[in-house]
Structure 1
Amino acid sequence: MPETVCFDMYGTLCDTSSVTGTLADELDAPDALVSELDATWRAKQLQYSYQAALMEEYQPFWTVTADALAYALDQWGVEADEPTRERILAAYEHLDPYPDAIETLTRLSEAGHTVTVLSNGNPEMLETLADNAGLAPHLDDVISADEVSTFKPNPAVYENAAARTDTPIDGCRLVSGNAWDVAGAGSAGMHTAWVNRANDPFEEIGVGPSIEVSSLSAVADELA
């Protein structure tokens, strides 16, 4: 039966670690330091989104991402002026799509599913990235957590996606490479697909995935 399939953007359709090229170019830093900066930036980006949601101090995800970058640079003692920081931040508008992303979106669409993005990114971030990554022509909609002024895994984000697409929440499926996102969507009543590329254990909190796969193309194998 056709579903509304909602793909997370960061870490699912697009590889957040593709910012490392920009970090290396802009900071002239060794590979080991670039790797640490990348990991800290992403970890703080997620942490700050959780904190903002829990404190009811919502800020657009672009601001959260900029604050996380500032923390990472401070943590590792890296000096970067404002123009340099802006160029590094802009890497989030040019993330590399995973090699099987477009194929997966196409196959699911051809199978009759409604295919959307559901992401913490604010609309401008998501639309720009979808265009730059070549994903936009293969999507029926782009849905942002910004519409409800909070972040995943708040149930309101998933409920809004169901309402936006005029689909019962149990007719929606979240596809995410982030286990915490899958746990949140499952708790909100969505079916889920966890793209577990690293063969990690699942979260101890929240609802487990409806299906678990190792790649995006395997999602299409399961659903198409």
Structure 2
Amino acid sequence: MSPSPLVIVFDVNETLSDLRPIADRFLAVGAPAHLAPLWFATVLRDGFALTAVGDARPFAQLGAEALRTLLHGVELRTDPAAGLDGSLEGAVEHVLDGMGRLPLHPDVVDGVRGLRADGHRLFTLSNGSSRVGEQLLTAAGVREEFEAVLSVDEAGAWKPAPAAYEHVLRVAGSRPQEALLVAVHPWDVDGAARAGLGTAWVDRDGAPYPASSTSARVRATDLVDLRAQLAAGSR
């Protein structure tokens, strides 16, 4: 393994944040929990499709539109205590609000603090909004470990388009070979590798890596494991 990079770029949704509580938001509005991962995948699909044709829209916009489609025909619940009035727009708002209130995975705080203590420069790059990233990291007490919390909104293209990775490199003042993209999504790893960055795949559940995607330089079970591997590689 090559020496540890100076710039580490983290994906946010599912890599740092635990998306599973979004299923509770679907249940709260009266929809089945299994719609949560379908919704997230739908938003990604639509974001990728727009980027492929040279367009880009914010995650919140695509997320709301996908929710209106998926919740169409669902008997929505009224719950005044939760601010739910049984309307479609109220349900959409409730689910989207949950994205900024997600917990981080248990390994993230120690992993991030350890990587920063080891001298790395930390950034995030999300297909979601920078505001949500700021909320999640601030709530977990690790915002100060990051130099910048970035969104593809400023790049004008969603990951895995090259322009998204070029954006964070410009902000960091880094060459691609000096940076490492960390993500749980093979498509993100593949995109970063094609843009010239080093890559680390966080495999939290032991899933196989798709053969059609460019292999990650590092395969880690979590961020604590990633830190250990990078430290070993720099000796």
- Among residues 65, 70, 73, which one is paired with 1:72 in the alignment? 70
* Matches of 1:58 and 1:213, distance apart in 2: 31
Which whole-Å deviations, capped at 9, do the CAs of 1:77-134 have from their partners, x for residues lacking one? 4545112321221000111100010111100000000011111112223223332343
Q: Would you say the 8 A contact 2:124–2:148 is kept in 1?
A: yes
Deviations 1:163-191 (A, max 9, x none): 11011111000000111100110111010
Deviation at 1:62, TM superposition (A): 1.3
* Secondary structure of 2:205's aligned partner: coil
Deviation at 1:22, TM superposition (A): 2.2
Find the partner of 1:26 among 26, 29, 37. Answer: 29
**Partner in structure 1 of residue 41 of structure 2:** 43
CA RMSD of aligned residues (A): 1.8
Change over 3 Å in CA distance of 1:67–1:204 after alignment to 2 = farther
| Whole-angstrom CA distance in 2 between matches of 1:170 and 1:211 | 14
How many residue pairs are counted as aligned between the two chains? Answer: 218
Distance 2:225 2:123 in 1: 18
More displaced stretch, 187-196 vs 202-211: 202-211
Query: Among 117, 133, 138, which residue is 1:110 paired with?
Result: 117
Secondary structure in 1 matching 2:15: coil
**1:91 corresponds to:** 98
Asked if the contact 1:193–1:210 (Cα under 8 Å) also holds between the matched residues in 2, the reply is yes
TM-score (normalizing by structure 1): 0.90
SS in 2 for 1:118: strand
| Alignment gaps of 5+ in structure 2 | 77-85
Shift of 1:138: 2.3
Aligned pairs for 1:62-211 (under 5 A) are 62-74=60-72, 77-79=74-76, 81=87, 82-211=89-218
CA distance in 2, matches of 1:147, 1:212: 29
Aligned equivalent of 1:7: 10
**Residues 201 and 53 of structure 1: CA distance in aligned 2, closer, same or farther (over 3 Å):** same
State the match for 1:17 in structure 2. Answer: 20
With normalisation by structure 2, the TM-score equals 0.86
Contact 1:102–1:138 under 8 Å retained in 2: no
Question: How many Å separate the matches in 2 of 1:2 and 1:153?
Answer: 21
Task: Give the Cα separation in 1 of the matches to 2:51 and 2:196.
Answer: 20
Tell me which amino acid in the other structure corresponds to 1:62. A
In the alignment, the residues of structure 2 paired with residue 21 and residue 166 of structure 1 have an alpha-carbon distance, to the nearest angstrom, of: 40
Greater CA radius of gyration, 1 or 2? 2
The one-letter amino acid of 2:134's match is E
Change (3 A) 1:133 1:26: farther
Instruction: Check conservation: 1:41, 1:71, Cα contact below 8 A.
Output: no
Say which structure is richer in helix.
1
Q: Percent identity?
A: 28
Find the aligned partners of 2:107 and 2:197 in 1 and give their Cα distance.
23
Which runs of 5 or more residues in structure 1 are unaligned? none
- Where 1:6 maps in the other structure, the secondary structure is strand
1:182-215 deviation digits (Å, cap 9, x = unpaired): 0110111010110011222223434210011121
> SS in structure 1 opposite 2:164?
helix
> How far apart are residue 2 of structure 1 and its match?
4.5
